Every structure is written in structure tokens, then in C-alpha cells.
Chains A and B, each alone.
Chain A
């Protein structure tokens, strides 16, 4: 009798060990009260393991054809998830563009410069498949990762399924949704009334939100973008929004980029043709480019040199140093 009891006791313990596995739990993303609430897509509410799986995939070089590039190659944390290069394609092509920051994607109504991708989950498919970027098929990605480390275990625990396109896209989106940036000097001054701006920064802010410059009519609060499409008149081969709409009036129009952390995201414009904030402000001050589709608000501003400096000083207050130094967005070096 004693032996029978011991047998069932041991079996019970072993069964307990087998069913233990990875345990997931819901998490919430810390966000400023002056940002609207995040609306998470059904089935991809944030959890600890979804975030961890997404982060692991974000830094995974096996996702690229030659196993030497990852999402983080073009979206590096110290540069507010940009890469400092003019354009980020690994090969020259007419649609190679400047890498956008990934800050505050949780609120973006659509993705890509033409706005043709409706969800962050779907966006994740683009760079993986694009031959000028990571350049793999999803089947190749899965074949590579399934045999590696604990991807399958993480996927089962996070999404209740083996690693597949569904789990990969959702996990990457979950990680990217966590990249929230709203703790800059501007936020403390404007929303939290810290009142620690210099006179130059105050002057720059006043100019930025003025009728005279109309900067904030497109770079609107709280994300410093209205997510709409405009042409600044820049002439190059990239037709911008026209690529999606086929309309000539959309030629050279691109989605308004956020200005949060703009100090760290040089070079600027869709083609990375401007290397400094001073150059960008000067470009606006002289009336922008010459393309016929240029937005009517882009016109000579007659700003003095001091006013240009003030605008640049203000733009530098949009840097969120806690965001770009947040180690939760990094993976531990596994080598």
C-alpha cells in the first residue's frame, strides 16, 4: 500500500513538472496621461511573453537572408529606433527611404510612408519579405527559428500555437506598441508645467505653434504628427503617395513624420537628404522645394537667424532621454 501511494505521489509530481512550462501574464504599458488610451487589437493584448517574444524577434538576425541583419539594424534604440543613414535599404532601389522612428506606433492609424498598411501586425510582414530589406519568405523564417532555442515554447505560451506567421507578426507588433515616448523636456514643460524652458526654447515653442510658421498644423500634439500626407516640394524619383492612389496630385506626398526625438533621428526627409535640424529649418524658411504638388503652407517664412536657432532649440527639447536609454527595449547579449 505504501509503495502504491509513493508511486502515485511521484507520478503526480512529474505531471506537475510537465504542465508547468512557461506561464504568461498580462502587462500594461506605462503611458503619459496626456496621451490617449491605446486600443489594442483583439487577440493581441500585451502580455509579458508576447512582449519578450516580440523583442527577441526584433533583434533576431536569423530573420535576414544572410543572417546578418535584424529589425534593429535599421531601428536602433540610441537613435530613437532609426539608423542614422540617409536611406535604409540594403540595396539601391527607387523606393529606398529614410528609416522612420518607431516611437508611439501604438497610436498610428496606418503604416508605411503611403499609409497602405492598416495594422502594426501586418506591417511586420513587409520588411521580412522585402528583398531590399530582410529578404526571406515566412516559411524560411519559421524553418530557421523553429529549431532554435525556445521560440516554439514562447509562441505556445504567448499565443497558444506553434511559431507561425500569426505569432511572429503579433509578437513583433506587441513589442513595437510598447515603444512609447512621452517624457521629454517639452512634455514636462507643456503638460506638467515644470516651467524649466530657457528663453530661446520658449521663443522657439511660440514660433512652432504660431500662425506664422504653422509647424503645428501638421506636426500636431500630442504626437507631433497629424498622420496625413503632404508634399514639401522635394524633387526626386520617389512619387510618394501617388504610388498607392495613382493620382498625380499625390506625387511627392509623404506621411507627416513625428518630431518626437527628432534631434536623434538625422538625417531628415523621406530620402535623408538633409543632415541637420538647422538645414531643415532653413529649408522651410526659404519656402521648401519646387514640386508642383507642394503644400500651400510651405512658403517663405522670413525668419531671422535667431528665430531659426530658437526653433532648433525647441525641437531639441522633444528628446525623451529615458526612452532612448530604456534597457527594457534591449536584449541581453546572448553570445
Chain B
């Protein structure tokens, strides 16, 4: 009698283990992430940008690029009239190529778009201390890209040094700084990608060149550093607008 009870217990236990094992196998399918990589590559005259290089602008002035920072926001994939938000905001410091990796759902699209800067609803009268530190719009995450005297984000910073004679071996003693921001300077860029279909587990990289020379040498509006070498937007809004228009022509989907 006692042996029979033990056998029954053993049978129930064995059945439970088997059932549990079956459940495990059938309810945990492998998750394959779908990734989209946006690789931003800074260049100057078609070559990789170097902070050690001295470049010539359209006026024969020598310049060095020491800092390029900018916000991209509202990164969307578009398929006909359907749009999928991929990322709300991201802050780039772009002296070397930098890749933004997005975990996305499987999808098809034919174009991408993003804003250069921070859109109005996230820019004015917002409190960056409400965001977690990991958010690029937070106090720490914004890394100096926020104006505290008149709340709002600095959309783009381009900084460096210049020299006007263009003669070799002349030291680059003067500094230029373009700090661009405020709602009127927010720009949205669109890029045709052709038909793209991302299935589960796919990883696809898009290379986007950021031609920093466009900031200084856009044929329609070259920048003479002897005159235009500083704006914090409010201190010289017309120049900030020109620099913004130049900067947004720097992005090329390769």
C-alpha cells in the first residue's frame, strides 16, 4: 500500500516535469531583432574630416574644425502615407563617423526623414530636468546644447579656428563659433531610400555623409570668416539663418 502511494506521487511528479518542459519549448520562440543603422560620416571636400587638418574656404581663408554637434529628431521611415517614428531625438558629436542603431519592427519603406534641431513642442518652455540622464534632451544629456537664459536647445554647434591670409604656416589664432537654434531654424530633411523591406532579424545600414565644407562653402552663400565668424543665434540671427541653411545641405544619403 505504502509503495503504491509512493509510485503515484512519482508518476504525478514525472508528469509535471514533462509538461513544464513541453511548455518551455513551445512558448519561448527565439526573438530576432531587426536593426537599422544610420551611420553619419563627417567629411570635408569629400575626405574624412580631421580635427588636425587645415582647410581652405571659398575666400582662401584657412580654418580648422574643432567641434561639430547637432540634434537630429523625429526620425521617421515613410511608406506611402504611413510613417513610423524610429527615434525622437539624438545628439551627435561628429568629428568621427558615428552610428545610430535603431531597433525597429519589420517593415517596408521608401524614404527616411529627420529634423535637424529640436521640434517646437520639445524645444520651448520645456524643463530638461524632467528627463532621465540618458535622454539627449536632459540636463546632463544635452551636454551644453541648451540655452538657460531663454529656454531652448542649441540645434547645431560648429566651432573652430581660422586665419585670414591663407599663407602656409600661419598660426590659426582666431576662433569662430556658430551656435544655431530657436524654432524658426528647425529644418526637416527627406531622403529617398528606394524600396526597402526589413524582415525579422535583418540589419541594414544607411550611410549618411555630413559634408562639413557645406557650412562654409555652399556656392549660393559662402561664408567670409573675416566678417561672419560668430553667432549665438540671438546675437546675429541673419547669420544663424544663413549658417543653418548651409548646414542642412551637408547631409547626403549615400
- Contact residues of A with B, CB < 8 Å? 95, 112, 114, 116-119, 121-122, 125-126, 129-130, 137-139, 164-166, 168-170, 243-244, 246
Residue B149 interfacial (CB < 8 Å): yes
Task: Knowing A118-B125, A137-B144, A165-B129 are in contact, say whether A112-B150 is a contact too (CB < 8 A).
Answer: yes
Report the minimum CB–CB distance from A251 to chain B (whole Å): 12
Which chain B residues border A117 with CB–CB below 8 Å? 148-151
From B146, B148, B149, B235, contact of A114 by CB (8 A): B149
Using a CB–CB cutoff of 8 Å, the interface residues on chain B facing chain A are 125, 127-130, 133, 138-140, 144, 146, 148-151, 234-235, 237
| Contact (Cβ within 8 A) B151 A116 | yes
What is the minimal beta-carbon distance from B118 to any residue of chain A, in angstroms? 16
Closest Cβ neighbor of B232 among chain A residues: A243
For A121, list chain B residues within 8 Å (CB): 127, 129
Nearest-neighbour CB distance to chain B for A216, whole angstroms, equals 29
> Chain A nearest CB: distance from B70 CB in Å?
19
Question: Is the pair A169, B234 in contact by a Cβ cutoff of 8 Å?
Answer: no
Contact of A165 among B139, B150, B151, B234 (CB under 8 A): B139
User: In the complex the two chains form, what is the Cα distance from A205 to B149 in whole Å?
Assistant: 35
Contacts known (A138-B140, A244-B234); A129 close to B148, Cβ less than 8 A? yes
**Contact indicator B130/A112 (Cβ below 8 Å):** no
Among A118, A119, A138, point to the contact of B139 (Cβ < 8 A): A138
Q: Is the CB of A122 within 8 A of B127?
A: yes
The 20 listed contacts between A and B (C-beta, < 8 Å) are A112-B150, A114-B149, A118-B125, A122-B127, A125-B128, A125-B129, A125-B146, A129-B146, A130-B149, A137-B140, A137-B144, A138-B140, A164-B133, A165-B129, A165-B138, A166-B130, A169-B127, A244-B150, A244-B234, A246-B237
Chain B residue with the shortest CB-CB distance to A244 = B150
Residues on B with C-beta less than 8 A from A244 are 150, 234
With a CB–CB cut-off of 8 A, which chain B residues contact A246?
Answer: 234, 237
Q: How far is the CB of A328 from chain B (nearest CB, A)?
A: 26
Assembly CA distance A126 to B129 (angstroms):
12
Given contacts A138-B139, A138-B140, A243-B234, contact A169 B149 (CB under 8 A): no
Cα A170 to Cα B150 in complex, Å, equals: 18
- Which A residues touch B125, using CB under 8 A? 118
Q: Find out whether the CB atom of B129 lies under 8 angstroms from the CB atom of A166.
A: yes
Closest to B142 in A: A138
Chain B residue nearest to A170 (CB atoms) is B129
Contact of B148 among A118, A126, A164 (CB under 8 A): A126
**A126 CB contacts on chain B under 8 angstroms:** 148-149
